[in-house]
Amino acid sequence: MLVSDDADALKSVAEELGLSHQVCRAHVTHNVLNLSEVGDLVAELGTQALEAPDPLPRGVARDWEQFVADLETVQWLVETHPYDGKEQLERLHQLYCQAPAPREGGKATMWYRMRLLTLDLWDDWSRLTLYQRWQGSAGERLDGLRPRRGTNNASERAIGWWVKERYRSMRGYKRAESVLNVSSLLGWLGSRPAGGDLTELVAA
């Protein structure tokens, strides 16, 4: 079972290897469509719907009041993870799936952005809520029941300690020797049988 952030490459890896995949709740909440968190996106689109709504496209049978209500539903789904969330997102997406994409160089309408938002969440739902269903052979459970907490704390620590070391030099080592010394030290500490708490070292 793989627990990771919301990167598409990791989803592909999980599918190719036949792994169950839990996506971090915090990453989805804050990075849906690579925008700000869902709450901010809902507020932005809601304000647009109230003040300067885009013309209703053909095939979308929703008015601006229903659009605002649907936005509130999306936000509620992301925050609460109801067990029928996937079905609710599918129904919402079907209401907006006829919204046309913008022309090249054009700006996406609020209707099209809702189409993408509901599609993205609908596609991610099984990965986002795996913690509700998954249980290990020894009764292990995934952290994810508490709102606004990520489900991959251990993974995030590992990413911070090891993966980010690959591009630490891009931030600027003070001395050329540090490139070798720091990388070697982190690798040696991580290979110890008992492991090592690198929080203070890496933070420094």
pLDDT in tens, 123-161: 989 988 888 888 888 888 876 544 444 445 555 555 555
Do 6 and 77 lie in a common domain?
yes
Q: Is residue 125 part of a domain?
A: yes
Position with higher pLDDT, 88 vs 152: 88
DSSP characters over the chain: -EEE-S-HHHHHHHHHHT--EEE-HHHHHHHGGGSS-HHHHHHHHHHHHHHSPPPPPTT----HHHHHHHHHHHHHHHHH--TTHHHHHHHHHHHHTTPPPPPTT-PPPHHHHHHHHHHHHHHHHHHHTGGGT---TT----S--STT--S-HHHHHHHHHTGGGGGHHHH--SSHHHHHHHHHHHHHHHHSTT----HHHHH-
Tens-digit pLDDT profile for residues 31-55:
444 334 556 677 778 787 878 888 8
Q: Which amino acid is at 136?
A: G
pLDDT mean over 87-93:
96
Do 17 and 102 lie in a common domain?
yes
Q: Is residue 139 part of a domain?
A: no
Q: Is residue 56 part of a domain?
A: yes
pLDDT mean over 73-79:
87
Mark which of 114, 132, 150 sits at the end of a domain. Answer: 132
Do 25 and 77 lie in a common domain?
yes
Q: Is residue 154 part of a domain?
A: no
pLDDT mean over 64-79:
88
Do 97 and 176 lie in a common domain?
no
Do 99 and 191 lie in a common domain?
no
For residue 129, report the phi and psi dihedrals to the nearest 5 degrees: -115, 20
Q: Is residue 93 part of a domain?
A: yes
Residue range(s) defining the domain that contains residue 48: 2-132
Q: Is residue 150 part of a domain?
A: no
Position with higher pLDDT, 168 vs 22: 22
Q: Is residue 59 part of a domain?
A: yes
Say how many domains are in the chain: 2
Q: Is residue 149 part of a domain?
A: no
